[in-house]
Amino acid sequence: MLISRRKLILGSGALAAPAIIRPNQIAARALRGIFGNPLTFPARPPGFNPLHPASNIIRFSAVPIGGNFVSLMQGAKPGVVTATLLPVIDPQMGAAINFSGTTSRSAFSGAFGAIVESTTTMALIANYQVLSGSPNTLETADNGAGWNLHTNGTSVRLTTEGVADHNLSLTLTAGVPFFIAISASSAQNLINGVITNLLNGKISKATTTASTPVAGSGNPQINSNLAGSSITIAAAMISGAFLSMSQMLQWAADPWAFWYPEV
């Protein structure tokens, strides 16, 4: 289902608690609209907004700095790199990391404890230059357990490792930057998924059933197995929150807000 960004902005509901909109925020929003697609990289420092619904029970938030991803929730701790990461400046996504080797990854130890995550929200901003196989793009754990946001061909999927694979029926296009977000609840037997095409602003949504994962290590990984794909990633996050579809859709209209909040 495609939903216009305009309808989302003008629709009812709030993404977060009410906040005072300062003149500099209004000017920043206006400049983004004048000089390019409002879904492009916002060109301001990364940060953390505790009022964002995805920030509830935050586990992990990472952006590229200095040729690698750093964990903003761990004092800008860099990931442990396997194989080669290629830092790039993407015209739509800004600073990003290209993963092109079969085993290239950025892994983070000690982000959170070894727990059974019955709810999770996972999101990233990425451009799949080549969509092939079933690469593990974002994982909550490095021990073959927990949740795994990945693709299979062009479709977005969420796996509870060793338990079940869930197809969201959301379709990506190779060479196009997307915001991709999935929120799952084992107790509610529900997975909400949204994607935003960052070139034209089109938002697609989908739901499917969920399952309960095995306890993960709490060591998240960005792109642990390319399986033939080539991916450029500009941001990634994991939280223990479960977001409603209404919250997901409003986030999809302003994807960068989680990693680069306006101040």
The full 3-state SS of 187-215, as one line of letters, equals: CCCEEEEEEEECCCCCEEEEEECCCCCCC
Whether 125 is in a domain gets the answer yes
Q: Which domain holds residue 102?
A: 2-11+55-257
Between CA 99 and CA 233 the distance in angstroms is 8
Q: pTM of the full predicted structure?
A: 0.82
Q: Do the domain assignments include residue 23?
A: no
In three-state secondary structure terms, 157 is: strand
pLDDT of residue 71: 87
Burial class for 57, CB neighbours closer than 10 Å (0-12, 13-18, 19+) = middle
User: Is the Cα dihedral 161, 165, 170, 175 positive or negative?
Assistant: positive
Which residue is associated with the tokens 């301001």?
A: 44
Domain for residue 194, yes or no? yes
In this prediction, residue 170 carries a pLDDT of 94
d(CA 212, CA 59): 18
Instruction: Read off the CATH number of the domain in which 70 is found.
Output: 2.60.120.200
CA distance 46 to 262: 9
**Residues in the chain with pLDDT < 50?**
2-36
Does 214 map to a domain? Answer: yes
Rounded to whole angstroms, the Cα distance separating 1 from 138 reads 24
Tokens of 196: 């935003």
Give the per-residue pLDDT at 255: 95
Q: Please report whether residue 199 resides in a domain.
A: yes
Q: Which pLDDT does position 244 carry in this prediction?
A: 97
pLDDT at 168: 87
Structural domains in the chain (count) = 1
Whether 244 is covered by a domain: the verdict is yes
Phi, psi dihedral angles at 26 (to 5 degrees): -65, -45
Position 16 in a domain: no
In a domain, 18, yes or no: no
